[in-house]
Amino acid sequence: MEAKKRTLKVTKWLGTVPVIAVCSVCTQQFKVPLTALNRVAEAQQSLQMQFAGHKCPRERASPP
């Protein structure tokens, strides 16, 4: 069985700035620090870096 490809999904926005996102596989939540909320690019970069650095737990990575 092929593992599901994980993606970053933004779940909350503050105007045009993404503030909260989750991993599509393990649902781990990532939040933008307050210092990055004033710039869209900085907020996006923060979320991407957090997402890239996380590892999905094996037991949650495969469908039930």
Cβ-contact 19, 43 below 8 angstroms: yes
What's this model's pTM, rounded to 2 decimal places?
0.82
Cβ-contact 15, 6 below 8 angstroms: no
On the question of pLDDT at 61 being above 90, the answer is no
b/e burial code for range 35-61 (CB count within 10 A of at least 16 → b):
ebbeeeeebbebbeebbeeeebeeeee
Q: Residue 21, class by beta-carbon neighbours within 10 Å (0-12 exposed, 13-18 middle, 19+ buried)?
A: buried
pLDDT tens digits for range 3-52: 678 999 999 999 999 999 999 999 999 999 999 999 999 999 999 999 99
Q: What is the pLDDT of residue 60?
A: 47
